C-alpha cells in the first residue's frame, strides 16, 4: 500500500510546486499567527488556486471561531480542515456540519494513555492525525516542533482507524516510521525546512521519495 503524503506549512509558489511535482497527496496552509509558517489569506488563496486539481488542499487552524473559518473557507476553498487546537468532539462535529468540509482532528501523543482520545473523535472526524505532544514550555506551538513520539505506541492500533502520522518526521526517518507503525498516511513540516518556516525543495522531494520507497518494500 502506498502511503498518502502531506507537506504542511507551504508558503511560496516555488516550494508548493516542489511538493506538487514530487507527487504530494496533500498540501497544507497554516492559519495561525504564532507559527513561522502562517500565511495571509491573500497568499493562501493564491497558493490554493495554484494547487487546485493537483492535490488535496488543507487549511490548518487552531481553535478557530466560526467567522475566521468562514473567511478561510472562502479564500482557500480547502478540501480538508485540519483542527490543531483543543477542539472538543462536539466542536469538531459542529465545524464539519456548518462548513461542509471533511475534518482532520490532531491529537498530541506522548504516552499510551493519550491514544484513548481517539475513540471520542473517530466518529466525528474524517481522519485523525497523531502528532507529538508539544513541550510544556511557554510559547510552544501546537505542532511543527520537530519532535517525535514513541512510534511503538501505535503497534497494535486498530487498522480501521484512518490516522495520519506526524511529529518529527524527515527524509531520514520516515521510512522507518512507516515500517514500524504501518501508517497509511504521513505528514511533515519542519522536517523539510532549511530554517523555521522556510521549506527546502530538495528535502521535500527526498521525503516523498523515501516514503514511497518504504511502501515499495512491503509496508501494509
Q: pLDDT (tens digit, 9 = 90+) per residue, 2-47?
A: 899 999 999 999 999 999 999 999 999 999 999 999 999 999 999 9
Residue 132 pLDDT level (bands cut at 50, 70, 90): very high
Provide the pLDDT for residue 135. 65
Kindly report the number of other CB atoms within 10 A of residue 200's CB atom: 17
Q: pLDDT (tens digit, 9 = 90+) per residue, 54-110?
A: 999 999 999 999 999 999 999 999 999 999 999 999 999 999 999 999 999 999 999
What does the alpha-carbon distance between residue 209 and residue 171 come to, in Å, rounded to a whole number?
8
Residue 214 pLDDT level (bands cut at 50, 70, 90): confident
- Flag the least confident range among 39-48, 141-150, 151-160: 141-150
Give mean pLDDT, residues 109-129: 96
Q: What ranges do the domains of the chain cover?
A: 4-216
Question: What is the set of active-site residues?
Answer: 8, 131
Residue 143 pLDDT level (bands cut at 50, 70, 90): low
Q: Which residues, 6 or more positions from 101, have their beta carbon under 8 angstroms from its beta carbon?
A: 73, 78, 79, 80, 81
Q: Over 60: is that where the pLDDT of 53 sits? A: yes
Q: Over 60: is that where the pLDDT of 220 sits? A: no
Provide the pLDDT for residue 41. 98
Query: Architecture of domain 4-216 in CATH?
Result: Alpha-Beta Barrel (3.20)
What does the alpha-carbon distance between residue 206 and residue 219 come to, in Å, rounded to a whole number?
19
Residue (of 54, 29, 55, 57) closest to 43 by Cα position: 29
Give mean pLDDT, residues 104-129: 96
Backbone φ, ψ for residue 60 (5° rounding): -95, 125
Amino acid at each position: 500500500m502506498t502511503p498518502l503524503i502531506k507537506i504542511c506549512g507551504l508558503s511560496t509558489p516555488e516550494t508548493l510546486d516542489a511538493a506538487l511535482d514530487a507527487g504530494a497527496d496533500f498540501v497544507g496552509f497554516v492559519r495561525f499567527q504564532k507559527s513561522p509558517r502562517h500565511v495571509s489569506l491573500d497568499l493562501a488563496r493564491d497558493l490554493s488556486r495554484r494547487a487546485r486539481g493537483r492535490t488535496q488542499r488543507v487549511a490548518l487552524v487552531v481553535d478557530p471561531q466560526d467567522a475566521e473559518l468562514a473567511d478561510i473557507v472562502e479564500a482557500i476553498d480547502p478540501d480538508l480542515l485540519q483542527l490543531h487546537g483543543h477542539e472538543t468532539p462536539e466542536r469538531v462535529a459542529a465545524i464539519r456540519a456548518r462548513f461542509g468540509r471533511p475534518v482532520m482532528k490532531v491529537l498530541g501523543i506522548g504516552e499510551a494513555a493519550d491514544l484513548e482520545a481517539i475513540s471520542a473523535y473517530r466518529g466525528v472526524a474524517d481522519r485523525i492525525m497523531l502528532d507529538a505532544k508539544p513541550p510544556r514550555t511557554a510559547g510552544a506551538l501546537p505542532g511543527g516542533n520537530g519532535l517525535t513520539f514513541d512510534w511503538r505506541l501505535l503497534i497494535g492500533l486498530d487498522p480501521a482507524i484512518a490516522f495520519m502520522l506526524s511529529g518529527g518526521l524527515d527524509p531520514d526517518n520516515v521510512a522507518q516510521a512507516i515500517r514500524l507503525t504501518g501508517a497509511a498516511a504521513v505528514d511533515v513540516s519542519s522536517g523539510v525546512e532549511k530554517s523555521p518556516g522556510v521549506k527546502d525543495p530538495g528535502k521535500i522531494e527526498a521525503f516523498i521519495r523515501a516514503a514511497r520507497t518504504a511502501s515499495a518494500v512491503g509496508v501494509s
